[in-house]
């Protein structure tokens, strides 16, 4: 089990937090569907909004994830709860634009992508075409699906610069739950996936650590090495929606407001071997029975 320490209750403006990005030591977040087309820089303690920037003319259909590389912030408008969306969008904002004053409108580019295979939704509403998890790995964007149909996640690779593209699943991974966020640490070459078990009100939250490898071939793209994947149940069951590496020994998470918990920031500390700190055992805690 991995212990989650609460850092702060989030301000009212971001109760539907669904993405996190670390940029020059500051956290940025966004809300999912229904909010303004806006991104929010948190104060250093996470309790207030330091800055709000707007994407004029954009629409927050279902913004679900933030990702960042050396010069660009990516907003993934990829939520697809009912499996009916065929055209998904990726917004790109130059990092230099984030220095604009509070309340500014920032310039952005937008591209579109779609699933290359046929969208199939069961009568129950279960399907494998939702997504809330996008991260940068080397020169690509990796998208992990939130499979409501089979409890797996499928990996898609996106060209960061393509204006239009169709994407196909490269591989499916047995995560035994629904994936809500992903982030990659290039220093440790570890990917973290965040998710929860299907039984939302009687289940649990979890993280997967997955090493990436190119099998010693510098000309080969990195790929998940599932043989080294490790799963940890989280000590706090909340609607955790976003996760971000803060160096190789710390993870920051955000949860949106739900019947499970308040909207909040949390952290997971890792030891020198990259193993999460475990909570102090409490024999009266039903989660340990």
The CA-atom distances, in angstroms, between 153 and each of 119, 147, 193, 235 are 16, 6, 10, 23
Cβ proximity of 251 and 267 under 8 Å: yes
Question: Strands 153-159 and 171-173, how do they pair?
Answer: antiparallel
Tens-binned pLDDT, residue by residue, of the chain (289 aa): 999 999 999 999 999 999 999 999 999 999 998 889 999 999 999 999 999 999 999 999 999 999 999 999 999 999 998 888 889 999 999 999 999 999 999 999 999 999 998 777 776 778 889 999 999 999 999 999 999 888 899 999 999 989 999 999 999 999 999 999 999 999 999 999 999 997 656 789 999 999 999 988 888 999 999 999 999 999 998 999 999 999 999 999 999 999 889 999 999 999 999 999 998 755 444 443 3
What is the token pair recorded at 191?
A: 């990917």
- Cα–Cα dist 131/189, whole Å: 23
Q: What is the pLDDT of residue 198?
A: 74
Query: In the CATH hierarchy, which top-level class contains the domain 5-288?
Result: mainly beta
pLDDT value at position 200?
55
Select from 62, 55, 59 the least CA-distant residue to 39: 55
Fill in the DSSP letter of residue 270: B
- Model's pTM, two decimal places? 0.94
Domains of the chain, by residue range, sit at 5-288
- What pLDDT shows up at residue 123? 65
What does each C-alpha distance from 145 to 115, 212, 214, 219, 280 come to in angstroms? 11, 18, 23, 27, 33
């Amino acid at each position: 089990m991995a212990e989650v320490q609460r850092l702060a209750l989030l301000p009212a403006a971001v109760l539907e937090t669904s993405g996190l990005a670390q940029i020059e030591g500051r956290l940025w977040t966004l809300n999912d569907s229904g909010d303004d087309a806006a991104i929010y820089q948190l104060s250093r303690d996470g309790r207030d909004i330091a800055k709000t920037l707007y994407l004029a003319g954009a629409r927050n259909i279902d913004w679900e994830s933030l990702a960042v590389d050396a010069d660009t912030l990516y907003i993934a408008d990829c939520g697809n709860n009912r499996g009916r969306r065929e055209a998904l969008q990726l917004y790109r904002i130059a990092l230099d634009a984030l220095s604009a004053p509070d309340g500014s409108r920032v310039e952005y580019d937008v591209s579109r992508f779609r699933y290359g295979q046929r969208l199939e939704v069961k009568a129950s509403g279960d399907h494998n075409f939702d997504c809330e998890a996008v991260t940068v790995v080397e020169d690509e964007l990796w998208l992990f699906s939130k499979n409501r149909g089979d409890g797996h996640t499928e990996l898609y690779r996106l060209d960061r610069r393509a204006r239009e593209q169709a994407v196909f699943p490269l591989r499916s991974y047995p995560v035994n739950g629904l994936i809500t966020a992903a982030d990659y640490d290039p220093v440790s070459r570890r990917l973290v996936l965040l998710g929860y078990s299907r039984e939302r009100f009687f289940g649990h939250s979890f993280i997967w650590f997955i090493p990436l490898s190119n099998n010693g071939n510098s000309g080969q793209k990195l790929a998940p090495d599932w043989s080294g994947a490790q799963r940890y149940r989280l000590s706090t069951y909340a609607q955790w929606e976003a996760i971000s590496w803060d160096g190789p020994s710390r993870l920051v998470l955000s949860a949106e407001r739900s019947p499970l918990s308040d909207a909040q920031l949390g952290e997971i500390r890792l030891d020198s071997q990259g193993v999460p700190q475990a909570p102090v055992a409490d024999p009266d805690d039903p989660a340990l029975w």
